[in-house]
């Protein structure tokens, strides 16, 4: 893909040239408040000449769950949307790491606050997004003074665009205070998650992560890492409420998520985590996750959807 944007996107049942997908300016407004989305990655494997979409079905099942929770009509099945995504990544000839973003919004809702009317438009677009796994990226985090949204306010379980205002506020505060990123506590004062990622820590060789009722998104990466930690690294994993001070005394802390992948946190509120560098369990998980995503490690084949670029003539 050499252009500034990919050739195609998918909008309301049709794959079409990027330039053709336009709406009237008055549509901007309330439609985005209720919009829900997914963030999905595909990883390029140069030896296979193939791109693999990671846990596509799980992402699109969560997309469907988000649509249900915000009461949008579902005119397309999960299978139809999966097929559309595979074709889109293939036809855009992404021979690189890619971010795929399906978005569902209330059609014709630009002028109305009410939230009524359930007809949905769905847009799927793709863009290059290089992986930072194994590049040595680390972050310094600060506990945010902003509280994480909660289930009876704006449910974090829904991947709703509006939810991200909470994370933006936390990120802006973190930057103003000289941190790279923020960690949000929930209404109960327990650790929730980052602005766009879940959080894991290691204490005494045990992997610990806030449970799914701690005001977090039910992260697909989190689930994958719990599975691999148990099955492949033989680690004990605890999903439970996590105290803030546990982060200060943790041996290892990292963010996990589709965009965040695995990002080691090397200090929290200026308390050094471990020896201030990514710890051994984080590094083992990162290597395994990387190899599984790219199909270098054959395990978990059911998590990888090949897009079919290997069958096309190379460019
Ligand atoms: N929490 C939040 C708030 C997020 O935005 C994300 C990224 N989607 C995650 C957690 C991680 O979720 P996943 O692993 O499914 O990408």
- What are the mean pLDDT values of the chain's consecutive 10-residue runs (315 residues total)? 82 97 83 92 98 98 97 95 98 97 85 73 97 98 98 97 97 98 98 98 98 98 98 98 98 98 98 98 98 98 97 70
Helices (H), the chain: 30-33, 56-69, 78-91, 164-176, 220-231, 244-248, 280-293
Å from CA of 199 to ligand 1 middle = 10
The label of the residue with tokens 């296979």 reads: 48
C-alpha 222, offset from chain centre: 10
What values do phi and psi take at 44, rounded to 5?
-85, 135
- 252 close to 275: Cβ distance less than 8 angstroms: no
pLDDT score at 2: 45
Residues 6+ apart with CB under 8 A from 43: 51, 52, 54, 97, 131, 293, 294, 295
Å from CA of 113 to ligand 1 middle = 27
Å from CA of 190 to ligand 1 middle = 18
- 250 close to 199: Cβ distance less than 8 angstroms: no
Pairing of strands 206-209, 198-203: antiparallel
CA distances from 183 to 33, 174, 180, 202, 253 (A): 24, 9, 10, 16, 11
Pull the structure tokens for residue 130. Answer: 């290089």
Q: How far apart are CA 233 and CA 298, in angstroms?
A: 16
* Domains of the chain, first to last: 8-130 (3.30.470.10), 139-293 (3.20.10.10)
CB half-sphere exposure, 180, CA atoms < 13 A: 14
ipTM: 0.99
Pull the structure tokens for residue 11. Answer: 């909008």
Beta carbon of 282 within 6 Å of any ligand 1 atom: no
Å from CA of 191 to ligand 1 middle = 15
Neighbours of 159 (CB within 10 A): 25
Pull the structure tokens for residue 211. Answer: 């449970």
Beta carbon of 171 within 6 Å of any ligand 1 atom: no
Pull the structure tokens for residue 176. Answer: 């103003």
Q: How far apart are CA 167 and CA 199, in angstroms?
A: 14
Neighbours of 136 (CB within 10 A): 8
pLDDT score at 313: 64
Sign of the Cα pseudo-torsion (284, 286, 292, 296, in order) = negative
Residue 159 bears catalytic tag: yes
Q: How far apart are CA 110 and CA 97, in angstroms?
A: 34
Q: Whose CA is nearest to atom 4 of ligand 1?
A: 196
Out of 68, 111, 159, 190, pick the active-site residue.
159
> Which is the closest atom of ligand 1 to the Cα of 198?
10
């Amino acid at each position: 893909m050499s252009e500034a944007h990919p050739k195609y996107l998918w909008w309301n049942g049709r794959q079409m040239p990027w330039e053709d997908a336009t709406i009237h300016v008055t549509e901007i407004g309330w439609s985005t408040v209720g919009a829900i989305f997914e963030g999905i990655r595909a990883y390029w494997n140069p030896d296979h000449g193939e791109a693999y979409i990671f846990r596509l079905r799980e992402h699109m099942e969560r997309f469907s769950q988000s649509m249900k929770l915000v009461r949008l009509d579902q005119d397309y099945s999960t299978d139809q949307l999966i097929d559309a995504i595979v074709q889109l990544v293939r036809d855009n000839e992404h021979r690189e790491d890619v971010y795929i973003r399906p978005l569902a919004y209330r059609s014709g809702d630009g002028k109305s606050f009410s939230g009524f009317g359930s007809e949905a438009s769905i847009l799927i677009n793709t863009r290059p997004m290089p992986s930072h796994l194994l590049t040595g990226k680390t972050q310094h985090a600060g506990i945010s003074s902003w509280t994480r949204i909660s289930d009876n306010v704006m449910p974090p379980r829904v991947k709703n665009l509006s939810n991200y205002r909470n994370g933006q506020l936390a990120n802006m505060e973190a930057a103003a205070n000289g941190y790279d990123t923020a960690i949000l506590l929930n209404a109960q004062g327990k650790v929730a998650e980052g602005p766009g990622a879940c959080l894991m820590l290691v204490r005494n060789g045990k992997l610990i992560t806030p449970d799914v009722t701690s005001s977090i998104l039910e992260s697909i990466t989190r689930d994958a890492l719990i599975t691999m930690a148990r099955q492949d690294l033989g680690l004990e994993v605890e999903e439970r409420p996590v105290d803030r001070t546990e982060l200060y005394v943790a041996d290892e802390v990292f963010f996990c998520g589709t965009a965040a992948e695995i990002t080691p946190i090397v200090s929290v509120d200026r308390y050094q985590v471990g020896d201030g560098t990514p710890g051994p369990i984080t590094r083992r998980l990162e290597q395994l996750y990387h190899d599984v995503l790219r199909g270098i490690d054959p395990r978990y084949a059911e998590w990888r959807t090949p897009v079919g670029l290997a069958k096309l003539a190379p460019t």
